[in-house]
Structure 1
Amino acid sequence: METRSYVRLDAVGLAGGLRAGRLCGNAVLAAARRRMAEVDPGLQAICEHFDPPLRAEVASSDQPAGPLTGALAGVPMLIKDLHCAVAGRPTANGSGFPAAPAAQNSTVVDRYLHAGAVLLGRSHSPELGGTSGCESRHQRLSTRNPYAPGLSSGGSSGGAAVAVATGIVPIAHASDAGGSIIIPAALCGLVGLKPSHGLVPLGPERIEGAGGMAAQNALTRTAADAALALAVAANRPDLATPAPLAGRPRIGLVLQAADGGATCDAIAGRLAALAERLAALGLDVAETRLPPITPELSEAERRVRLASLAATVAAMEQAAGLSALPGHFEPATWARIEAGRKVTGADVLAARETILAYRDRVLACFATYDLLLSPALNAAAPEPGTLSLMRPDHETGPRNRDYTCFARPWNLTGFPSLSLPLIRDPRNRPEGALFAAAPGSDALLLSLAAWAEASIGWQHDHLTTVYQSQRKSSP
């Protein structure tokens, strides 16, 4: 199979061809590896290669005779290097901690394998997913943006985004506790769906992350693949085929971030132009605002995140029978770990009450609107090093805010959100349009994605670009 043919097929097309016997599994895998060799040395998307790749059937390195089966039959994929366990392999989450090998796969990994996916390796993520960039000292990687290789891919699912945007794989596992699906999807021109809280399990050893603010799913190039990926990961076959977008959905246009900070005028203007186009296509659009994120709520969020990080490291220590040391982690991460160890159980429970009260206030917005639309980001892609965990939080916090401010409410509430590549900046670089819906309305977002792709459309510019190698150096 030629590489150019491979990269232009989405997962739905690949799986259909492999099930019907029109495509050869070995040829598909070889094409994925060739594309990886063209992309990864320059953009640094992958931190671990599985050799041989992980399959549900591993008795032979040769492709089984006859057509493959399963919703993801023979489709090459990557899993994110963050809390996603593979039996027999350590998961250090991008850190230098000597993690113990996992006893079993994460539930989501088993679901991919059961559906027939071929897992090629792990995509790069910053240490413990702790920033909106994608750099790590331990991995000595700095994942770059395919549209501007001198800039960041965004994070924390940056490696996954680059691998999909450049055609290494059509689907890559991703996760999101503070915009980690939304940010790189927007910067790399992808479909990024953060599902409703609890819809996709990570498990079995880790049930939820970030005190309920984290979600598991994937990044894709097409709406059809977004539906397929969620159907497999959630074990919900009914989600695999989105229903037509019904009626005249009411869309609330949100141009002011809930934290009250300034919105980039240029980005707001481009989103307002998109809103006008949506209205012209028959959607009902009116400007609105989200309930504000107060200082009290911000402090509650901070405490839950710090406590969750400390608990994550404690679990890593227990599994390995070792104590974490400052040298195992980047400076900002270690400072957060120490702060998290001081948060009490009573602090966490009080903080959760504050967060849940905010969730109820946001839920009231969906009595008026079916969907809310905002920018995905408040700034263009950052330069490498800008958001590094080698720098203290007081330096990186204001810039991180530019990338998390519009995604943040949907992590706090656990409501589903979706970045679609519907707008671009004057340099023709992608900017995401962020849609959100009420809890459990993931199917509505998938229907919207399919409608938007058919009605407006988007393109992928770097499926055949070859990138020059960059020296791997510590961020």
Structure 2
Amino acid sequence: MAVFPYKEYDGIGLAELIRNREVTAEEVIDAAIAEIEKKNHDVNAVINKMYDKAKGKAEQFDLSGEFSGVPILLKNIAQEIKDGPITNGSRAYCHYKAAEDSTFVERIRKTGTIFIGQTNIPELALMGITEPAFYGPTRNPWNLNYTPGGSSGGSAAAVASGMVPIAGANDGGGSIRIPAAFTGLFGLKPTRGRTPVGKKEGRHWQGAAVDHVLTRTVRDSALMLDLIKGYERSAAFHTGPYEVNYFEAVKTPFPRPMRIAFSTISPIGTEVDPECKEAVYKAVKILESFGHIVEEKNAPVDGKKLAKSFMTLYFGEVAASLKEIEEMLGRKVRIGDVEPSTYILGLLGKATTAEDFVLSIREWDKAAIQMETFHDTYDFYVTPTTAYPPSKIGELDITSFENYLIHIIGTLHLQRAVKKLGIVDQMIENNLKRTPFTQMANLTGQPAMSVPLHVTNKGLPVGVQFLSAKGREDLLFQMAGLLEQTDAWIDVKKNEMF
């Protein structure tokens, strides 16, 4: 195998090397495998290796795709490969095999990338950390004692440690942006309907969840979105009128100063760590130095109502997933089939009424209209990506007492009483206080990105989130391309494991 600095190249760079015959696709795949084998024992990012298929593909690939020969990892939920395992991070799905490629996977395949494995996720992709009981925790390459975030934590850790330049991800409440922030990567959540959701479904999480990728460079993310976007007849939602070349947008200067609003105040009224605020203040100074017009102003939405509507979705979707597991198992789901926290979320979903669910969707639409009006004035809305830096592995585990309560609630069917006692409001705060900024874009449908501009005094990255109006990923890529050229942009290659 030829020796070349594999980790120094992004996806586009590797594809150019292969296209110019400076390296072979087999050599690139071998280099990726070597990185995974060297680091995965410590990081635990890859839970299903597909080396033989990847090598076979590398031997017979062609140069027709923009990313031909580039290794990629897929997230172990929604991104289904025909006849491949898709466990959704849960023991309950340990024997499940996909019947066909998802549309997202079909389109990724056409880019010329070579699938080399699947990445770790929290059970059913429910958490902002990646510590499933079934596979064990994924660790942050910047410091193995800390989380890389979730739910796309395995993908983020793989890219940030240099295993692959690109990895599949999806985002239903921050699951691309949170791990991007915690690992020093670029992560963009596209507009609702921009990327495919089929073939089995017309929507993911009622339209809150969308698929894309995590990358080290902005241009990789932009080109990938150019290649996988587009109409899908089975999709329930389709995007707005802005159809541009995102790869070119990365290199395009703004024709005028942008109007930018920013806030460091948690939309649910909880605390925000000074380091996460500092990341935003640093971004504001950079934006002002470029001549943009920046104003401190909160988004015009009721953050607490929106958070409650998100958790209503959360409860309902988990209950529906547990119902599907019961149909698959042919019996009732028990604690042990799924983790205790998943089980109690499902019980609360069963106690959620149709009225609750409809009212929560109406809250989404109200917020979406408010934000569209907001963006008539402001091109961007800037916040911390998260309210806190990465937590330590195990720090957010449920306690033995909480585990005991879950068993009691489940055994005695007390979930309705739990809701009436107002405990759910406390659950909302506990679940979202560390990540209160990301859910809004999922519910309004607008695009949002996390950019890596700050490292804490403990040596851990945190991100800055930018939102734009629905359909305006081009503006986000323009801004990211501008920021990527500054000294503040984190070079992920500086982490010791890269």
TM-score clears 0.5: yes
SS in 1 for 2:52: strand
Counterpart position of 1:187: 182
**Structure 1 residues 298-313: aligned runs within 5 Å:** 298-313=307-322
Amino acid at match of 1:8: E
Contact 2:454/2:461 (8 A) holds in 1: yes
SS at match of 2:321: helix
Tell me which of 261, 272, 288 is aligned to 1:279: 288
1:458 correspondence with 2:489 = yes
Alignment partner, residue 26 of structure 1 = 26
Deviation at 1:311, TM superposition (A): 2.2
Aligned to 1:122: 118
Cα pair distance change 1:266/1:296, threshold 3 Å: closer
Cα distance in 2 for partners of 1:434, 1:354 equals 22
**RMSD of aligned Cα (Å):** 2.5
CA contact (8 A) 1:387 1:396 kept: no
What secondary structure sits across from 1:328 in the alignment? coil
**Contact 2:367–2:444 (CA<8 Å) still a contact in 1?**
yes
Q: Secondary structure at the match of 1:97?
A: helix
Q: SS of the counterpart of 1:160?
A: helix
The answer for the alignment partner of 1:84 in structure 2 is 79
Q: Does the 8 A contact of 2:142 with 2:497 survive in 1?
A: no
* CA-CA distance at 1:183 after TM superposition: 0.9
How far did 1:409 drift? 1.4
In the alignment, which of 477, 480, 485 is matched to residue 449 of structure 1?
480
Question: Contact (CA 8 Å) 1:258, 1:291: kept in 2 or not?
Answer: no
Q: State how 1:117-196 maps to structure 2 within 5 Å.
A: 117-139=113-135, 141-196=136-191
Q: In structure 2, do the counterparts of structure 1 residues 364 and 218 end up closer, same or farther at CA, with 3 Å as the change threshold?
A: same
- Name the structure where strand makes up a greater proportion of residues: 1
How far does residue 411 in structure 1 lie from its aligned partner after superposition? 1.6
Distance 1:51 1:396, change over 3 A: farther
SS at match of 1:443: helix
> 1:249 and 2:258 equivalent?
yes
Q: Which residue matches 1:43?
A: 43
In structure 2, C-alpha distance between the alignment counterparts of 1:210 and 1:302, rounded to whole Å:
12
- In the alignment, the residues of structure 2 paired with residue 408 and residue 461 of structure 1 have an alpha-carbon distance, to the nearest angstrom, of 26
Which moved further from structure 2: 358-367 or 46-55? Answer: 46-55
Residue 17 of structure 2 corresponds to residue 17 of structure 1:
yes
Partner of 2:416: none
- 1:320, CA displacement in angstroms? 6.2
| Structure 1 residues 183 and 396: CA distance shift in structure 2, 3 A | farther
Q: Say whether the 8 Å CA contact 1:130–1:389 is kept in structure 2.
A: no
1:358-369 to structure 2, matched below 5 A, reads 358-369=367-378
Deviation at 1:313, TM superposition (A): 3.3
Match of 1:52 in 2: 52
Aligned residues: 461
Q: CA deviation at 1:105?
A: 0.9
Helix, strand or coil: the match of 2:162?
A: coil
Change (3 A) 1:5 1:30: same
Matched with 1:471 is none
Correspondence for 1:356: 365
Q: Which amino acid aligns with 1:190?
A: L
How far apart, CA to CA, are the structure 2 residues paired with 1:192 and 1:3? 30
* 8 Å contact kept, 2:273–2:389: no
CA shift in 2, pair 1:289/1:237, >3 Å: closer
Helix, strand or coil for the counterpart of 1:403? coil
Q: Distance in 2 between matches of 1:298 and 1:266?
A: 23
Deviations 1:303-334 (A, max 9, x none): 22211222233344445656533321000001
Q: Which runs of 5+ in 2 are unaligned?
A: 231-242, 407-422
How does 1:367-406 map onto structure 2 within 5 Å?
367-388=376-397, 398=429, 400-406=431-437
Say whether the 8 Å CA contact 1:193–1:226 is kept in structure 2. Answer: yes
Check conservation: 1:191, 1:223, Cα contact below 8 A.
yes
Is 1:258–1:409's contact at 8 Å kept on the other side of the alignment? no
1:269 pairs with 2:300: no
Which ranges in structure 1 are unaligned for 5 or more consecutive residues? 468-475
Distance change (3 Å), C-alpha of 1:84 and 1:316: farther
Q: Which amino acid aligns with 1:309?
A: V
Q: Deviation of residue 357 (structure 1)?
A: 0.9
Which of residues 221, 225, 234 is equivalent to 2:229? 234
Structure number with higher relative contact order (C-alpha < 8 Å, ≥ 6 residues apart): 1
Does the CA contact (< 8 Å) of 2:275 and 2:389 recur in 1? no
Match of 1:470 in 2: none
Alpha-carbon distance in structure 2 between the residues aligned to 1:325 and 1:378: 34
Which residue identity does 2:460 align to in structure 1?
R
Counterpart Cα distance in 1 of 2:244 and 2:329: 37
* Deviates most, 279-288 or 401-410: 401-410
Whole-angstrom distance in 1 between the partners of 2:355 and 2:328: 26
In the alignment, the residues of structure 1 paired with residue 4 and residue 267 of structure 2 have an alpha-carbon distance, to the nearest angstrom, of 43
Q: TM-score, normalised by structure 2?
A: 0.86
Structure 1's 158 and 449: CA in aligned 2 closer, same or farther, altered over 3 A?
A: same
- Structure 2 distance, partners of 1:132, 1:421, is 18
Contact conserved, 2:454 with 2:490, CA < 8 A, in 1? no
Pick from 87, 93, 104 the counterpart of residue 100 of structure 2: 104
On the 8 A contact 2:390/2:460 being kept in 1, the answer is no
CA contact (8 A) 1:183 1:403 kept: no
1:472 alignment counterpart: none
CA contact under 8 A between 1:91 and 1:102: conserved in structure 2? Answer: yes
Contact 1:387 1:399 in 2 (8 A): no
Contact 1:373 1:433 in 2 (8 A): yes
CA distance in 1, matches of 2:2, 2:492: 18
Query: What does the per-residue CA deviation read over 1:401-439, in whole Å, with 9 as the maximum and x for residues that have no partner?
Result: 243211121122111111111122223421111111000
Match of 1:93 among 80, 88, 104: 88
SS in 1 for 2:245: helix
> Is the contact between residue 144 and residue 151 of structure 1 (CA under 8 Å) also seen in structure 2?
yes
Aligned pair in 2 of structure 1 residues 161, 271: CA closer, same or farther (>3 Å)? Answer: same
Give the match for residue 427 of structure 1: 458
Give the letter for the 2:155 counterpart.
Answer: A
- CA distance in 2 between partners of 1:300 and 1:289 (Å): 19
